[in-house]
Amino acid sequence: MPYATTDDGEVYYESKGEGPALVLLHGGGGNHAAWYQQVPHFQQRYRVITIDLPGFGLSRIESGRFDTGTHPTAIEAVLDHAEVDRAFVVTQSLGGYSGLSYTVHNTDRIAGLIMTSTLGPVGDEISELNRKGREQVRHLSVADFLLTKEFQEKEPERVHLFFQIGSFNQTGPGRPNRLANSLQGSVSVQRMRDAIEAGVHLTVLEGGADVMVYKPAYARLRELLPEAEVRLVEGAPHSDYWENPQRFNSVVDEILDRAYQAN
């Protein structure tokens, strides 16, 4: 089992397939295993790297510090250990914090970023709008936040599997250790613009049925950052990668095809 070493422990990751590197960064309820419906699909054309961010899955933290601020270092360690010079990154929810932060500070190593299910790491006006959106759903249970009611009723086995995978985490929703989020609102819109100008393909996906979506935040980001693709995916819930893997994979395929054709 491959581990990359940081000053604060070991970061577990898996690598499947061959081709351009595609890094998948999980959300707060997941870990590397959460991508089981994506890895077999994408490894047919890409070298798919799944990472257990510190505090999740099989990664080991020595200090006991659970903070998204440690996650970009973990990404760097994995890319180095896996001998990846340049990668495309796909994130879901929590993974977007470290994914965006690492991208804007390392444009030489990131070909593109597809950020789904969150605007949390974006600063400026977006940060305040995102806070308002979160206030509207603060009353929801962990299950209702992460999965739709319809899915919970129709797919009890996959709901059970979802939370079983999450039970291996040390932190995250419903886990014993609180996760600090020092990366919230940490990336300015200008920094995102700079990354695009440096050659990074940036797509932000807005789920049409995502309970976390605060439409004014996405609308404002479209206005502030027309250089990016801020795209609405009709009907997509917060965990679309889990509930509707065919749709999620298809959307990502289309974006990757366009990005690599452009280069």
In order along its 263 residues, the chain shows pLDDT tens digits of: 799 999 999 999 999 999 999 999 999 999 999 999 999 999 999 999 999 999 999 999 999 899 999 999 999 999 999 999 999 999 999 999 999 999 999 999 999 999 999 999 999 999 999 999 888 888 899 999 999 999 999 999 999 999 999 999 999 988 999 999 999 999 999 999 999 999 999 999 999 999 988 999 999 999 999 999 999 999 999 999 999 999 999 999 999 999 988 76
Specify the pLDDT at position 10.
97
Distance, C-alpha 166 to centroid of its chain = 15
- For the chain, percent of residues with pLDDT exceeding 70: 99
Specify the pLDDT at position 263.
66
Token duo for residue 25? 């960064």
Task: Choose among 106, 104, 12, 102: nearest CA to 50.
Answer: 12
Between 95-105 and 71-81, two packed helices, what is the crossing angle to 10 degrees? 70
Token duo for residue 125? 């006006």
- Residue-range domains of the chain with CATH: 3-256 (3.40.50.1820)
Specify the pLDDT at position 174.
87
Buried b or exposed e, range 209-239, using 16+ CB within 10 angstroms? bbbbbbeebbebbbebbeebbbeebeebbbb
Specify the pLDDT at position 169.
96
Task: Choose among 138, 134, 115: nearest CA to 221.
Answer: 115
Distant-in-sequence, close-in-space partners of 179: CB < 8 Å, separation ≥ 6: 28, 55, 66, 67, 68, 94, 171, 172
Work out whether strand 87-92 and strand 229-233 pair parallel, antiparallel, or are unpaired.
unpaired
Cα–Cα separations (whole angstroms), residue 79 to 16, 23, 73, 76: 14, 9, 10, 5
Euclidean distance between CA atoms 44 and 86, whole angstroms? 19
Specify the pLDDT at position 136.
85
Kindly report, residue by residue over 198-218, the tens digit of the pLDDT. 999 999 999 999 998 899 999
